[in-house]
Structure 1
Amino acid sequence: MKKNPWKTSLTAIVLGTMLVQGGMTAWAADAGSAVTSAPTVNYGLTNDIRAAIKSVAVTPTASGSQLAVTVRLYNGGTTQNRVPEHELRLQTTSGVSYTLKPSAGNKETLQPKEIGELVYMTSIDSKEIGQVSQLSFVNVDIYSYPKVETTLLTMPTASVWYGGTGTAALQNLGNLAWGQSFTIPGVNSGLTYSTVEASMQDTATGRVAVVTVLASNPGEGRETVPAFRMDAQSEVKNYEGKRSEAESVTLEAGEKKYLHYAIPVENGVTLTNLVVLSTDSFAPKGEGQGPATTLATGKLAISWPKADQEKSTAVPYTIGQPIAFDPLTKVVDKQTQVSLMELHLHENPGEGYQTAVAKFKLTNTSSAPIATPNFQSELVSSQGVTYQGARQSNVTTMLNPGLSYVVSYAYVVPQTEAGTSFSMKLLDAAAAAPYTTTIAALQTDVQKEGTDSTISLYPFDLVFKDVTVSTQTTPQLTYSYKFRLDLGITQKENVVVDNNFSKLRFEIVDSAGRVVGSKDAAFTGANKLISGVQTIDASNITTDQVSYPYTVNVYETIETPNGTSKRLVKVIKG
């Protein structure tokens, strides 16, 4: 049968039912001009059915090689058409021919204007396959003797994926820089993609590279993201990835969504590339043939980002200003305004570490109650060291309109950390669960404390006018303690404080450095702290000796899932 090439880029009148979309567009590294691959060519299999190659892969196995092919068919006629009986054969440049087995899911007929994909695969106990040159549809009449073979169509293979490791596996793939926009060659989709974030995350089962990809639909109709995955490569090994989204992802015209890929890797590995692979399912025919197999074909290689590209760039931030979140995030409602109000770093005497405390103000700007956003946070030092934040244990579930609420995060930081400038990352823990993705990144400095007498615990400003400690003797000849506290408290308006808010802890330290008494005091409840003179009874703490003078350490305490976090806010000498 005569070959009838039909370039899709020249057939504008059938764009809605094209068999294969146009070629992949990449951007030149040294200029902004577009580099376009050769258009995909379609061939006539019958008068109405056209064929094009989606993918051809030669992949090493433990005992030899796996040959896999996917061919796309399009019925351009006005009636249902049967796919002609055939064998699919793969030929190499050395003249060797391999017959591939069809998948049980291959279509036998096509409705008018329908597109169908035929999947073929076979395993060969040889690693000497050579270079693939063409594919052929061959009709075999087994009822004739000798049997009669008729070649229905032969298609040259312009692009073949030779799986393996290192640069050799990438020779026939388009190579992109990190962040460049791409489409997937040979895949019937107009969606475009770009890599936006990569991070290494530790889990209970090991280290995982998490890659976020932005999918965009520039077309005029709804599209579903086709099946593809992302693998990672080092110089000597491949690491298979898996998409975190279990359900299919659909994009309306003009819509953008994130895709997330988790790639388990080894500790200490240095990755060099990401590989974009289209995937197809091959189901063996007949009973007892085993489960379906996923066939993956490399399409593009993307350079693994440099250290300064892996994580979202932190933008300069001024304490108290509304935070600009990723516009695609689902974590923070558009009607919720979030601001970082405090970031303090303090050493805790006797604890062996420092504590950083961040306080966020969450404001409901709408006219109805909305759910409290649940984001995670990390502090990243100027040297790239990351400290995970622990969110306070209890947080109100709903935000009422016109009001602000405070949520605190505590970070345990080693005493050797001397930096004062940090990147604050806010994270989504749901989109790619159990992994996290960045929804905002801020560059800010830790705050210096106010005057000697004023302490800021947003939304409170505290002025310690006088603190004295007295002892009293019990009938058992032991001593207990009372604090006489003259305190000034000012609270910001329209900021709600409930029993989840942090507390003050007063610790009495004797001249030998021993903690001989302590008492927690809350900002809410029947015995809350007030402006003016008040007495705090620490009679639940007793000692059998008195040692003057006393020092009172005043801490802010926050209850977190990891325990009580303390931040030293003031030291009062007796």
Structure 2
Amino acid sequence: MRTKWKQTLLMVITLFSLLLPSASYLAIAEEGLPITKEYSLNSSVKAAVKSILNEQVAEGTRIGAVVRLTNDGNRLTRVPDYDVRVKTEDGVLYTLRPSADNVIAIQPKETVELSYMIVIDREDAFSLAEISWVDVDEFVSPRSEQTIVSIPISSIEWRGDTAVFSDSLAKRPWGESFTIPVLSTSLEYKPVNLSEQNTPQGPRTILGLLATNHSDKKKAIPDFRINGKSDKKVFAGVRLEKDPIMLGPGEQQYIHYAIPAGKKDELSGLTVLTPESFATDDKTKIEYAIGQFDLSLPNEAEANAGDQPKIYVWNSPIEFDPLNRVIQPEISVSMVSLQMNESVGGGFKAAVAKFKLTNRSDRPMPVPKFQAQLMGVDGTKYTGTRQNAVVETLTPNVSYVMYYSFVLPSTEKGDQLVMEILDSETVAPYSIPIATFKTMVKPEKSEDASLSFYPFQIKINSWKAEVFYGAARESFPYSYKLSIDMEVNLQEQVVVDQSFPKMKVELVDDKGKVIGSKTLSFNGENHVGTGTQTMNMDSVLYEFSNSLRIYETVDTPYGQAERLIATLQ
């Protein structure tokens, strides 16, 4: 049992040790960030303050503290049995209660975090000045108290989600990398993207950060929050990546936050916060967050200062973000065509983009499931609908062509467009841009009389139509026999599937009235091929056709759309 003179001697030694400057820090603070240094509690245990909370709640005022204790000794050491108290600037003392989750002992060379809290029935605003560890001896009369150490905390006090940083250094400009010293000084984050997306739950602002591990060890990205704020409201952000993220030395990865602020124009800034918790018992836990610093929003100049979309060169490999998780490096993707189709029933146009995917590896690879989005000159975005692809695997060194259709207003000319390729799976239902480029509807150019249905080139040598009495005399009394002599060639060695756009031929009389039509596939049975194609059309009209229209047709969610390629006489 400890004797009184030993206790007094220990106190003297401890107080003397406080006069010696501490050579080690729990974390190296960035300039302007007040991270408290370590103070000795006894011969082997040192303390540093991680966070201080002072916020108004329904019950009054909640005061919380999270401290870090480090055991510098060579053996297991019990957490010192001291009272932890905070003192306000007007001298009022409050003793904090320890969390039920707090450890009671510290392993050698280990650092642990301990949480303390109290809720007091006080509604007036006040500030905290210091936190203290006090040794209380209940077994002497009168009871004795000895303050072991006091640490100033006014500079790190956090007053809740609506708090405002008074220090101008606690604000990070957009586009510059930052660290969160209370979590890690070797993990760096850079804001790279701020966009708006609509969801079934309403519009969301999506923030993208590029995380980099600058250490020589594998690191886990810690949990932290980013909130949006306006002049009157705070919007709690949610990290979209749910699984733990580990970064190797020098490795990078994007992380994303969804902020329910509606339009990003409604935001005035962002706040980076670190999560804390306090357990009142084994069943009840209080969660809260401590603000670390503000993050500025990009102004118009900064938003436009990033990588501007380049003009796309047809049939060239698209440059994807090297960190994307959708397009494997062995797969080359290029856009070979972008054409504007008219809806059959009217009311809209449909842009059809054809992409060529090539597997440059020596093994089969799955067809990447990316999303495509077109943006008009006024900033309006149109999400593409992917064809119902039959092919799921890309054969080595074989190219596959697939298309996306975009329903556009009838007024869209298609001469100033931006194409965005999106990752719609990593943080579904949200989408992440992985490539962006400028483009336009591809003009039709042919050096000969051939017709382009990329990747097919069709040359019509001749055609003729004959009319007969049909078999169904009452409903369709006339039957037309159409014969087309054509040559079909592949522009490149690529494959298509049964979902590919089709060729439609249409017989027209001299007044422009449609006599009949037939749709032909480029894949499957009875597909278009070199030679004479013969087809029958039933009609109620008895006319001599002098025109043949040839279309490319696609299916869209709003119905069929077609592009007139040629009118033959």
**Same fold flag (TM > 0.5):** yes
SS state at 1:90 partner: strand
1:431 is matched with which residue? Answer: 426
Say which is worse superposed, 338-347 or 458-467, in terms of deviation: 458-467
Picking from 191, 195, 202, the partner of 1:195 is 191
Say which is worse superposed, 310-319 or 527-536, in terms of deviation: 310-319
CA offset digits 1:342-372 (Å, max 9, x no partner) = 1122333542111111111111111111111
- 1:89-108 aligned within 5 A: 89-108=85-104
1:163 is matched with which residue? Answer: 160
Change in 2 beyond 3 A, CA 1:192/1:572:
same
Letter in 1 for 2:181: P
1:182 is matched with which residue? Answer: 178
CA offset digits 1:374-410 (Å, max 9, x no partner) = 1001011222111101111124111111111112111
Change in 2 beyond 3 A, CA 1:412/1:444:
same
- Quick check: 1:394 aligned with 2:389? yes
2: CA distance between counterparts of 1:200 and 1:303? 17
SS state at 1:420 partner: coil
2:327 is matched with which residue? Answer: 332
Residue 469 of structure 1 and its aligned partner are, at CA, apart by: 4.9
Picking from 349, 361, 366, the partner of 1:366 is 361
SS state at 2:186 partner: coil
2: CA distance between counterparts of 1:6 and 1:520? 90
Residue 83 of structure 1 and its aligned partner are, at CA, apart by: 0.7
Picking from 108, 123, 128, the partner of 2:124 is 128
Change in 2 beyond 3 A, CA 1:573/1:186:
same
Change in 2 beyond 3 A, CA 1:379/1:482:
farther
Residue 517 of structure 1 and its aligned partner are, at CA, apart by: 3.7
Residue 513 of structure 1 and its aligned partner are, at CA, apart by: 7.5
SS state at 2:180 partner: coil
SS state at 2:303 partner: helix
Say which is worse superposed, 439-448 or 508-517, in terms of deviation: 508-517
2: CA distance between counterparts of 1:84 and 1:493? 77
Change in 2 beyond 3 A, CA 1:136/1:459:
same
2: CA distance between counterparts of 1:304 and 1:403? 45
- 1:135-284 aligned within 5 A: 135-144=131-140, 146-157=142-153, 158-165=155-162, 169-172=164-167, 174-266=170-262, 270-284=266-280
Letter in 1 for 2:339: H
1: CA distance between counterparts of 2:19 and 2:485? 91
Residue 470 of structure 1 and its aligned partner are, at CA, apart by: 4.7
CA offset digits 1:63-122 (Å, max 9, x no partner) = 543322211111111111111113322222122233333222111111011111112233
SS state at 2:424 partner: strand
SS state at 1:202 partner: strand
Query: Any conservation in 2 of the 1:60–1:164 contact (CA below 8 Å)?
Result: no
Change in 2 beyond 3 A, CA 1:139/1:7:
closer
1: CA distance between counterparts of 2:21 and 2:184? 14
- Quick check: 1:309 aligned with 2:303? yes
1: CA distance between counterparts of 2:21 and 2:215? 20
Picking from 299, 313, 316, the partner of 1:318 is 313
1: CA distance between counterparts of 2:409 and 2:245? 43
1:71 is matched with which residue? Answer: 67
- Quick check: 1:420 aligned with 2:415? yes
Query: Any conservation in 1 of the 2:98–2:116 contact (CA below 8 Å)?
Result: yes
Structure 2: gaps of 5 or more residues: 1-13
Query: Any conservation in 2 of the 1:460–1:490 contact (CA below 8 Å)?
Result: yes
SS state at 2:533 partner: strand
1:299 is matched with which residue? Answer: 292
* TM-score, length basis structure 2: 0.88
SS state at 1:130 partner: coil
2: CA distance between counterparts of 1:334 and 1:271? 37
Query: Any conservation in 2 of the 1:487–1:533 contact (CA below 8 Å)?
Result: yes
2: CA distance between counterparts of 1:150 and 1:573? 103
Letter in 1 for 2:127: Q
Query: Any conservation in 2 of the 1:344–1:358 contact (CA below 8 Å)?
Result: yes
2:28 is matched with which residue? Answer: 22
Say which is worse superposed, 273-282 or 470-479, in terms of deviation: 470-479
Residue 273 of structure 1 and its aligned partner are, at CA, apart by: 1.1
2: CA distance between counterparts of 1:6 and 1:545? 106
Calculate percent identity across the aligned residue pairs: 34
2:567 is matched with which residue? Answer: 572
Change in 2 beyond 3 A, CA 1:5/1:52:
farther
Residue 553 of structure 1 and its aligned partner are, at CA, apart by: 5.0
Change in 2 beyond 3 A, CA 1:489/1:137:
same
Residue 572 of structure 1 and its aligned partner are, at CA, apart by: 2.2
Letter in 1 for 2:493: N
1: CA distance between counterparts of 2:308 and 2:248? 29
Residue 317 of structure 1 and its aligned partner are, at CA, apart by: 2.0
Change in 2 beyond 3 A, CA 1:89/1:572:
same
Letter in 1 for 2:29: G
1:16 is matched with which residue? Answer: none
- Quick check: 1:51 aligned with 2:47? yes
Picking from 441, 454, 457, the partner of 1:458 is 454
Query: Any conservation in 2 of the 1:356–1:410 contact (CA below 8 Å)?
Result: yes
Query: Any conservation in 2 of the 1:509–1:517 contact (CA below 8 Å)?
Result: yes
CA offset digits 1:16-62 (Å, max 9, x no partner) = xxx622122xxxxxxxxxx5646642211221111111112233434
- Quick check: 1:518 aligned with 2:517? yes
- Quick check: 1:486 aligned with 2:492? no
Query: Any conservation in 2 of the 1:453–1:465 contact (CA below 8 Å)?
Result: no
Change in 2 beyond 3 A, CA 1:474/1:107:
same
Query: Any conservation in 1 of the 2:59–2:119 contact (CA below 8 Å)?
Result: no
1: CA distance between counterparts of 2:317 and 2:91? 67
2: CA distance between counterparts of 1:267 and 1:516? 52
Change in 2 beyond 3 A, CA 1:399/1:156:
same
2:403 is matched with which residue? Answer: 408
Change in 2 beyond 3 A, CA 1:98/1:482:
farther
Letter in 1 for 2:312: Y
2:501 is matched with which residue? Answer: 502
Letter in 2 for 1:449: E
Letter in 1 for 2:368: P
Q: May I ask how many residue pairs the two structures share in their alignment?
A: 547
Query: Any conservation in 1 of the 2:349–2:561 contact (CA below 8 Å)?
Result: no
2: CA distance between counterparts of 1:230 and 1:403? 45
Residue 515 of structure 1 and its aligned partner are, at CA, apart by: 6.0
Change in 2 beyond 3 A, CA 1:146/1:516:
farther
Query: Any conservation in 1 of the 2:27–2:184 contact (CA below 8 Å)?
Result: yes
Residue 511 of structure 1 and its aligned partner are, at CA, apart by: 7.8
1: CA distance between counterparts of 2:77 and 2:553? 74
Letter in 2 for 1:234: S
Residue 564 of structure 1 and its aligned partner are, at CA, apart by: 5.2
Letter in 2 for 1:202: N
Letter in 2 for 1:159: I
1:31 is matched with which residue? Answer: none
Say which is worse superposed, 121-130 or 414-423, in terms of deviation: 121-130
SS state at 2:266 partner: coil
SS state at 1:537 partner: strand
Residue 554 of structure 1 and its aligned partner are, at CA, apart by: 3.7
SS state at 1:329 partner: coil
